[in-house]
Amino acid sequence: MMEIRNLDGITFTTIYETFLEAFRDYAVDVNYMNTERLGNRAIKNGYQSHVSAGAFENGKLVGFTLVGIDRSFIKPAAFDIMTGIVKEFRGQGVAGKMFELIKAGLLNEGIQQFYLEVLQENEPAVKAYKKQGFEIERYFNCYELNPDDFVQVMKLNIPLSLKEISKSEIEDFTTFADFPPSWENSFSSIQRIPDDLIIIAANYTIKKVGLIIYYPALNWIMNILVDPVYRNMGVGSALLEKLLGKLGNNTNAIRFLNIPDNDYMLNDFLINSGFKSLTKQYEMVLELK
């Protein structure tokens, strides 16, 4: 018998077991994920078990939607961190039932918007989300770099000091962003990360001019930020080269996800630096009423 309820009391170990079953046929390789990484990614994205939902068949978790909350996002908002349904339980209205439970919980919390990200090629999911009232907000490009393919786009032509800093020091760099980061890459998400980050700052004399933020657990670059005044001077290439030097042979591919497709400067920089297209996503949003 199917039961839909929140995820209070459900461990990440249990969720991960269902994740493995649910994502066995997923279009993107998820072999990098394990219990700890799944849990830390959920924490990074503001996970709240009481507004998340699970589908239980005779007590066994067969579907889930993990939901995060961030009251300082553009408006008080929630995010579908991850939805997975075991293949044999798809097409039975499970996702819709979980969604109704989540929506009621978010309204009760005073949340105004519900965000999610979905692969553009996943047409059935996009269609289902639109049916629930979600609208496409932004188009995202996702990239991957084999370190051996890195190309230094521009030689550095100003003297820089490159040093690692803590995440408590990144606030001074946030104004360098041309577009609001996606939920996954937001500065709030960065602050919530419970494990290690590599953050390298670039300074020109006493002036902060650039920053790169890398999350080793997921092999993700979360942000590359350069002061507009100091662009086209090799700062971005210097930061990326410094990061790759630090990583050494510890990874054979790094990813940079959710780049708005109209951020032409960053997209061009990544492609020219050797990044290859990995996939494309939609950012979708539902206005809660």
SS (H, E, C) 70-102: ECCCCCCEEEEEEEEECHHHCCCCHHHHHHHHH
User: Which residue is it, tokens 């790094």?
Assistant: 254
C-alpha dist (Å) from residue 69 to 44, 53, 168: 11, 14, 21
- Architecture of the CATH domain 143-280: 3-Layer(aba) Sandwich (3.40)
Domains 2-111 and 143-280 share a fold: yes
Q: What is the pLDDT along the chain (289 residues), one digit of tens a residue?
A: 899 999 999 999 999 999 999 988 776 667 778 999 999 999 999 999 999 999 999 999 999 999 999 998 888 999 999 999 999 998 888 989 999 999 999 999 999 999 999 999 989 889 989 999 999 999 999 999 999 999 999 888 899 999 999 999 999 999 999 999 999 999 999 999 999 999 999 999 999 999 999 999 889 999 999 999 999 999 999 999 999 999 988 888 999 999 999 999 999 999 999 999 999 999 999 999 7
Q: Where are the domains of the chain?
A: 2-111, 143-280
Look up residue 182 and give its DSSP letter: P
Pick the CATH number of 2-111 from 3.40.50.300, 3.40.50.620, 3.40.630.30, 3.10.620.30: 3.40.630.30
Q: Which residues contact 97 (CB under 8 A, 6 or more apart)?
A: 4, 55
How many other CB atoms are there within 10 angstroms of residue 89's CB atom? 17
